[in-house]
Amino acid sequence: MSFRAAVLASVSGVAVSVSLAEAGHLGYWNNDDDFYVRLSYMVDFDQKRATTTGIPGLPGDGGMYCVPTSASNLMAYIDRHGYANNPFIDGPGLLDWTSSSTAVYNAATAYIDAMGDDMNTDPDDGTNNDNNQIRNAVRDRLNPLFFDVNYYARTDTWCPKAINIAKYMAQGGIVSFCYGRWNIDASGEGLSSRDSGHCITMTKVDKRAFMNYDDWEYVINYADPGSGGSSEFSQSDFAYRVETVEDFNYFVIQPGVYRRMSRIMFQGLSDDRHRIIDSAMAVFPKAGWAVYPTPNSMTFYTGSFVAGDGPGGVGLHTFQMPGEIGGCEVSPDRGFASVVTEPEAGGPAVLYHVDVMTGQTTPIASFAHRVPALTHHRDRTVLLAVDGDSTSPGQIRRYEMDTDLPSGSPRLEWSVNLPMGTSVVDLAFNDANDTLAALADTDGDGDADSIIDYGMDDDRIFPEGTHEIPAGSICCMESIDFDPDLGEYLVTDHEGGLVVRFATDAASGRLIETGRLALGAPIDGCSMGDGGRLYVLAGGVVSEWDTDGAGGFAPTADPSPMAGLPALRDFQISRSRTNFVAALHSGPQWNNFDPSELAPVRNATGECPADIAAPFELLDLADINAFVTGFLAQDPIADVNADGLFDLQDVTLFINSFLAGCP
């Protein structure tokens, strides 16, 4: 029995509020200085839950349970968006979580407790994430064919900021993030140590131009598990804290080498520590990208949080490039895209950073020779192959891609020469062991014949072995990928319409064929996703295939919204990814602190069901028109009471909310 089934059994007979598709993401994005992103109907569970007669509470009264509580908010949100009956998603169920019912309150407590168990949450210290269990506990509750769960935290050169979280939300993501209490040195710019932190759930990031915020200033709303009501035996009303965030340059490695980070500008604190956003876990609907609709354009296909949406529910964001695209890929955290253009008319090949919200392109590096392949390390850096010539070898290079890279940091982190006469056809990165696979032509005849494995660390890359592809198994190989579940290679003959899976024999190091798909038609893109699903682009349309248990593939019986999408070439599917490194992202400094140490709540807001159209946070005729249009079309945005019906109750609630004004 799933956890959800057990919960529903425990509250049998309790009235529930059912919604198959509530309105969730609202806002707009003109540019990085003028945007507004808001989630409606985000759950706001309380973490403080004490024990009394008939109420089990949480260990330690929940004082250290901010991480599992904020993660449970995300799972409840997913259930409220049409997935409550999905057997492959184990959320808390579809209940009225603001109900005064003790049974409902205990059901929420039980779910948070189970999430805490999976996260190894300690009632005295909190969740220090010693093996990335924060991300894994949420990922393991979701269907990997429909959702990605990404965890990204601060490094020596980058940190998730308010604007990154806003971009995750604008792509349909929901985000739980943490801020640390950082001790600051005498200069006011150096971070000396992190002294525990607190995790919350973002509901709004506001950077509307007419509000005249400072250049690096934002206003955020968030569900704070620690700022519930005075009772620890019942759920408080959902209310979202309102705070100002400002970006500052802090140095970590050495003075003068800065990293931009977002500081929450709390007031009423009794210490000098800075509260800085330093990790974010985002749950995304599945996404993909490809060269489409022209050779000079890349399209990013973002999914929907509404269950049952087909291709019509997938957002298509197309970016026009200055030249024909040689390779493109969205970054692992979905914060940007890396695109390389082909050399034209004697000009160079160029590597670009592309903003996934605006399409703005920033050149990162140029190359005298063609760049046949690129991929991303899970840490957001890009790995690419550069062709050589008769006098100089080809290379594999690693670049930092962030546009706000700290001053003094190099773009090119390292490079390694290929053997003379060897050229790379394609690259693939294996997150499981941080290795890079290069599909290579080692004899100079123009056809790939081997896979070269590379290991790497922070400042170098080194070959670990070369595997010759068995003769006769596949010819005219054009692309390579990893199966993220099995760690096996997938090599594709595009023209021959053939995909072959290879494993490495542990004793001999030789490649052994373990399966194949003979499509019988040319393939223009092939990508292996989580959950053992293969995505194949052929005839301009994406199709999906599952392993058939006999070493082959069969058309899937339950296609995702990606099935049937149009693309030109090089389609790739998103995966769950993380930059987690135990030495950086776990340990006592990542413990939590009790809600009694939170900054005082200065301002909080609730839902405003009538505020559904721009200009947001102002109720006017645009909201009325949006409601009427949505009501007639039975769009979830007009289902105000979230009961799955469009009736007089929705009209009445909208009118009452409109007349009352936004809180």
| CA-wise closest residue to 432 among 485, 373, 502, 381 | 485
Average pLDDT, the chain: 89
Residues 556-592: tens digit of each pLDDT: 998 888 899 999 999 999 999 999 999 999 999 999 9
Q: Is pLDDT above 90 for 53? A: yes
Q: Is pLDDT above 50 for 136? A: yes
Q: How far apart are the first and last CA of the chain?
A: 41
Q: Please check whether residue 127 is in contact with residue 121, taking contact to mean a CB–CB distance below 8 angstroms.
A: yes
Question: Alpha-carbon distance 494 to 496, whole Å?
Answer: 6
Question: What is the average pLDDT across 413-428?
Answer: 93
- Please report, rounded to a whole number, the percentage of residues in the chain having pLDDT higher than 90: 66
Q: Would you list the DSSP string of 305-345?
A: SSTT--GGGSEEEEEE-SS-EEEEEE-TTSSEEEEEEPP-T
Instruction: Give the phi and the psi of residue 73 in degrees, each rounded to 5.
Output: -55, -45
pLDDT for 3: 52
Q: Please check whether residue 303 is in contact with residue 287, taking contact to mean a CB–CB distance below 8 angstroms.
A: yes
Residue located via tokens 């004490």: 50
Residues 625-653: tens digit of each pLDDT: 988 998 898 877 787 776 667 889 889 98
- Most confident segment among 186-190, 253-257, 350-354: 350-354
Q: Which residues contact 366 (CB under 8 A, 6 or more apart)?
A: 348, 349, 350, 351
Segment holding 135, helix H or strand E: helix 133-139
Question: Alpha-carbon distance 280 to 300, whole Å?
Answer: 22
pLDDT for 312: 38
Give this prediction's pTM: 0.92
Question: What is the average pLDDT across 451-480?
Answer: 88
Task: Tell me the H-state helices in 609-647.
Answer: 621-633
pLDDT for 244: 97
